[in-house]
Structures are given as C-alpha cells and as structure tokens.
A and B are shown apart, each in its own frame.
Chain A
Amino acid sequence: MIGYITAGLLGLLCLSIPVGIVLFLLGFGIDAFFSPFPLTKGLGNLVWSTSNNATLIAIPFFVLLGEILVRSGIATRTYAALDRWVSWLPGGLVHANVATATMFSATSGSSVATAATVATVAMPQAEKLGYDPKLFSGAIAAGGTLGIMIPPSINLIVYGFLTQTSIPRLFLAGLVPGIALALAFIAITAILCALRPELGGQRRVFPLSEMLRALLELIPIILLFTIIIGTIYQGWATPTEAAAVGVAGAIAIAAMFSGVTLAMLREAILGTVKITSMIMLVVIGASFLNFTLASAGIGRELQAFLEGLGLSPLAFMMVVVLIYIVLGFFIETLSLMVITIPIIVPLVVAQGFDPIWFGILMIVLIEMALITPPVGLNLYVVQGARRSGRMSEVMIGTIPYLLMMLLMVVALIAFPQIALFLPDALQ
C-alpha cells in the first residue's frame, strides 16, 4: 500500500494535476484496490467535516493579516528597516529575508502566510539588486516556516487540540527553538556567502543614525505582535480567536500608520480568498486520503511496525524522526499531523518523552516538510511570487536551511530543555 501511494503520488504529480486533486484521486484508488468498503460514500461527509472547523478559520485570518501588512506598505517598510540592521553581514539582503520572516512569524500562525508576505515584498528587490535567485528565494521559503514555530501557530493549536496538551505552554515552548532556528539560518547564510560571495549581493553598511531611525519602522509590527500575544496570555482570547484580533489589529495599525483604502482591502481580500482556497483544497484532499488510508489499515501497519522494532527510547525517536522526514516529502503538513499524531504521540509518551517537547520536535520536522518537494507548500508560494525561473531553484536554495533544521532536531533530542525551559520557568 505504501508503495502504491508513493508511485501514484509521483506519477500523478508529474502529470501536473493539481496537488489537492491528486490526493483525492489516490484516495479513490485506495478505496478501489485496498478496501472492501465503499469509502467514497463518505466523501461528502469528509469534505463537510474537514472544512466546518473553527480552528482552520485561523488560516484565512492570518493570510488576511499578512495581506493587509503588504498592501498597506507596512511589510515593505519593515523589510527595509530590518535590511538596515542585517545587510552588513556577508549575504546582505538575504538576511533581511530571514529577519523579516522571523518578525512576521511572531504575528502570523501560518507558515504559508508568512512566506507569502515576505515573498511579495522581497522578490522585487532580488531582481533589482541582482541576487542569486536560489539562496534568496530559499531563505524566504525556509524563513517562512518559522511562522508555525514562533507563536502564534496554527499547527501548535492543532497539536494541542489532538494531544490534549496546553496550547499556551506549547507556544512558550516554541519561542526559544524558533529564535534559535532564525539565528542558525542567519549564521549559515553568512558562512555560505563568506565562502562564496557570488551567492549573496552586496554587503551594505548603514550609518548608525539611519539604523536607529529604522527602528521606528518596526513599531507597527511590534505593536501588532503585542496585541496578538497579549490577548492570548491575558486570557482574553483563545489562540484561534487571536487570529481575528490580529486582523482587526492589522487594519487599525495600517489605518494609523499609512491609511486604509477600500481598494486596498479589496485586493487583500482577493489575495486571501485565493490563497485560502488553494491551501484548503490540499487540506481537504489530504483529509480524504487520510480517511481512506486509516480505513485500509495504514495505522495498524505503522503501529505494528514501530512496536515490533522493540527499540530503546533514543533509537525509537530516531525512527520516528526518519518517518516524519520521509512522509514529509509527500504529505501536506496539517494532514501529516492529523494522520500521525493519534498513532505516534501515544507511543512517544509511553516511551517516557514529554508531549510538549515532542510537539516542538514535530514542528521542526513539519517545517522541513513545508520545503521538501514534491509536496511543499512554501516552495509553491515563493515560486508563485517570482515572475520567472524554475521551481527547482527554490528547492536547491532551501538545502542549507534544511540542514540547519536537521541540526535543530538533533539539538532538541540532545537537550530537551531548549523547548521546555521557558514553559517550566514561567509556570
């Protein structure tokens, strides 16, 4: 069955059938060949239940928030301001991509929305300043993944929901690894560009006065971050509701700093509807595929496999990491979580691991899945914002950042306190 899925997925994707539709077609195939039951009869219910979901509404809200920041010019100004601070490093503007992505991650719960926001403002710069498109776009795709690690995070909300762990604790646990990953991205960029200067653009040093003035441009985004996180930790809003607070906050802040027009809102809405439907077709298709896979017994296969190995906790964790990396190539991130959490988290907890810690480890693995082909939403989003060039360039550009994520996986396993220190200290 796993062979069929892999071959079918690759074959259909090569035909350039829309990714969401491919997932449905595979589900129909599993129904026809691997299940004696008429699973397709459940299609309507699956589509209804998957989309009738109050948690998922955070996706359009976060995308809309990002769109408003872009259309109001706040995103561009944030980007320019961060550029003043980081482009003295070897690699120049590439660092601004990572820094801007990190900043927006703190206001957005979605990696795709984060990548879309940064790509829209950054891409025109790359062409203007003559950057190597690979590393430049790779940095956006990878930096965007921080959107689900640095709070708020839709994926951590889903994890908390499915494993019945505390969402605010998960958010706290993601903060340090998220910032550490951002620093690791900046470090690897600097190292690469120091070794091969042609990868980055010009290093530019700005006078201190200009750097300090640039800080003012960060006020809107910091304000927005404070509003979103503040409402969660004050207990005024649940993490999902905070996405709506973020939208309202973004409109208010945009009105305050640069003005809001009806035309601008219209464009923001159109962009939001387009990205949301694009994501949801994949999410719904993945949910249907998951349903057919579970009915056909993939959960049993996986569980029997893991339990049959009889491994030590550490070796067991390595196998789990490997499974996520492999599945991450093919499965969209929310589906990947939904498919695997009910099977894997109980086994992980039974081995004595902390579920909050594992949530953070899983997020790193899911971040990797977002930028590994063939199913890597952030790659598509960044490619979509480019006007030319091959998708493969974006993929190659993410490789150094993938290595950093792998390093983070190792670090989290070796030192669980990286994730657990903050929530433990604040309880």
Chain B
Amino acid sequence: EDLSVVGSWSGLPLHMEFEAPFWSEKLPAASGGNLNVALTTHNQMNLGVGDVFRLLGDGVYDVAMTVADYAVADAPELEGLDVPLLALTADEARAMVDAARPMVEDIYNARFNSHVLAIAPYPPQVVFCNAEINGLDDLAGKKVRGSGRMTTLFLEALGAEGVNVSFSEVPGALQKGVVDCAITGAGSGYSAGWWEVSTHLLPIPLGGWDSVVTAINLDKWNSLDDATKALIEESIATDFEGPAWAAAQGALDNDIACLTGNGACASGDARSMTLVSVSDADFAKAREVLVGKVLPDWAERAGGDWAQRWNDSVGKTVGVMIGG
C-alpha cells in the first residue's frame, strides 16, 4: 500500500524530529514493508495553508498535517480546539485536545472528508514585547502582532490593538515601534532572533498551542483493511503523538531558559530577556474576558450545538462554561 503524505512546516522541530522519522522510517518498518510512504511538506509544495485540508478531502494526497487554525476559514467550529490561555502546561493542553478529539473528528468527517489520526502541539504561542510590561493589564493600548482570528479578537478584548505583520517583518516592526509586542512560539522567536529587538517575555500561551492535526482522506481510510487501520492508529499514537507531547513541556522550559537566561539552554547561547510573571488576578481577569466575550462570539460564529458540545467536553476539562 502506497501512502502520499504532506507534512507540516518543514523547518520546525515537530516535522524534523517527529513527523519525518515516523512517516519515513517508523511506520514503514512497523508494517514490515507493507506501507510505502512518500513524504513532502505543504511549504515545499507551495500550498496555501488554507488549502492543505481542502485538497486532502479531494483525494489529491492521502495524509496531511498542519495547524488546525489554518483551516478555520472552512470550519469556524474548529476554533474551539485551541482556545488561548486555557491550558498553561503541556499536560493541560493535552487533556484539552483529548477532550476535543471527538468534536474534531466530526468536523474533519463533515468538512474535509477525512479521518483524524493524531493531534500534536506546536510550542505555545507566547508574547514578546519591546516595552516594559508587568502583567496582562499592560497589554491594553499596545499594538500587538497576533495571528489567527480568535487570538486577535482576544487581544482586542483585552484592550490591545491587533496589527497584521508577517513573521519575517516582525523584528523590524518591533525595533521601529510599528508593533510593541508580537506573539509566536518561544522556540521560533529564539531562533529568529526576536530577543535582539524585544525586552520582555510573557511566557503564557496567549496564542494557544497551535495544535497540528494529522488526518487521512476518508475514502482512503475506508479502503484500508482493519489490520492496517489498527496498525496505523496504534503506531501513530505511540511513535508520533506520544513522543511529540512528551517533548513539548521540556521544549517550552528550554526555550524560555534560552530567551531569559533562567536555567540551562540546550539550543545555543542564553539571552537575557526579562521574564514577566503573570499573577493569579491577571489570569482571572483574562478568563473573564474569555468567557464573557471571546467564547460567546465564537459560539455564535460556530452556530449549531457546538457551544454545548464544547461545554460538555473541553469546558468540563478546563473548568470553563460558555454562557454559564
């Protein structure tokens, strides 16, 4: 059986350390040579990020993985998978994702004609500021570069102004004051040199965890025999999803150490950004904004009974109720 697989961003650790080894070595080996995988990535194909799951549904390839948030144009209900600030640690994020999994499966069945095989995290999206901030409150009135609809709406609800700047232009924008703060993965910010042009680091997932969904075309999935299906599901859980989650917290701690110099940095020279701690009162307030404004807006965008389903699954896990 041949599988054509489209991976996520080829330059990021999730692909290099977990996706690529799993699809090109571990899975073919586990199948005893029955599964042949051809792996590329969506950026190598020059696909628009919003097209990755559309084309998967059309059967242009068999398996695809990318950030769920890229697909919310076609499925606003999918925004509920990755709500900012609800999960602070990798364990909490995993619990949130696991709770959302049945919803995600239904969304992928209906919208993208595909079946979800795995959900793995990118590092949480934290806040880099080139201005003194001492807590969430200080974001009000600042120009912040976010990405994705829910993050931007959340920033605006916090009183900040969402500014659209492409990733590669962020350092210049921070330096020149076009933006005061910008959100990205801690590791990406470290390797792209954002510490050169920013002073304060707010190490909370204000942009969420950017969950990466791996899905397989439904017709292809249904054409596989039960043994192959079981093999794929089993090995992707133990050889890809598990290790990726297991490394997530360590990677976050390491990245923050690298940016601030608090602790050992395994990626290179440690930098000296100021680590801003977030008080419980700050959190409580942010949650209030989330529950009072951002999530109800989402419930309306998603329509149907998605808010109810979210309350019963994700909401229960993280202790948040929409409209309650």
Residue of A nearest to B55 (CB): A42
Q: Which of B170-187 contact A (CB under 8 A)?
A: 171-173, 175-178
Q: CB of B11 within 8 A of chain A? A: yes
Across the interface, do A300 and B58 meet the contact criterion of CB distance under 8 Å? no
> Measuring CB to CB, which residues of chain B are less than 8 angstroms from any residue of chain A?
2, 4, 10-11, 38-41, 43-48, 50-51, 54-55, 58-62, 165-169, 171-173, 175-178, 188, 192-193
A343 with B60, Cβ < 8 A, contacts A41-B55, A239-B169 known: no
Contacts of A339 in B (CB 8 A): 46
A161 with B168, Cβ < 8 A, contacts A42-B58, A346-B10 known: yes
Rounded to whole angstroms, the CA-CA distance of A30 and B72 in the bound complex is: 31
Chief secondary structure at chain A's binding surface? helix
How many inter-chain contacts with C-beta < 8 Å in the A-B complex? 100
Contacts of A342 in B (CB 8 A): 10-11, 41, 43-44
Across the interface, do B59 and A295 meet the contact criterion of CB distance under 8 Å? no
Given pairs A167-B172, A342-B43, 8 additional interface contacts (CB within 8 A): A36-B4, A39-B60, A45-B48, A164-B188, A234-B176, A294-B46, A295-B4, A342-B44
Across the interface, do A291 and B45 meet the contact criterion of CB distance under 8 Å? yes
- Binary interface profile of A, 145-184, with partner B (CB < 8 Å = 1, else 0)? 0000000000000001111111110000000000000000
Q: CB of A33 within 8 A of chain B? A: no
Across the interface, do B59 and A238 meet the contact criterion of CB distance under 8 Å? no
A42 with B51, Cβ < 8 A, contacts A238-B165, A297-B38, A342-B43 known: yes
Across the interface, do A161 and B10 meet the contact criterion of CB distance under 8 Å? no
Across the interface, do B55 and A161 meet the contact criterion of CB distance under 8 Å? no
Q: CB of A383 within 8 A of chain B? A: no
The 21 sampled A-B contact pairs (Cβ below 8 Å) are A38-B58, A41-B60, A45-B54, A46-B51, A49-B47, A49-B50, A160-B169, A164-B188, A164-B192, A166-B168, A167-B172, A168-B172, A238-B165, A238-B169, A291-B45, A291-B47, A295-B61, A299-B44, A342-B10, A342-B43, A343-B44
Rounded to whole angstroms, the CA-CA distance of A38 and B60 in the bound complex is: 5
Contacts of A36 in B (CB 8 A): 2, 4
Interface pairs A-B: 8 shortest CB-CB? A235-B176, A49-B48, A294-B45, A45-B51, A160-B168, A42-B60, A342-B44, A41-B58
A290 with B46, Cβ < 8 A, contacts A166-B168, A234-B176 known: yes
Q: CB of A52 within 8 A of chain B? A: yes
Q: How near does chain A come to B313, taking the closest CB pair, in angstroms? A: 32
Contacts of B4 in A (CB 8 A): 36-37, 295
Contacts of A39 in B (CB 8 A): 60
Q: CB of A372 within 8 A of chain B? A: no
Rounded to whole angstroms, the CA-CA distance of A277 and B38 in the bound complex is: 35
Q: CB of A13 within 8 A of chain B? A: no
Contacts of B59 in A (CB 8 A): 37-38, 41
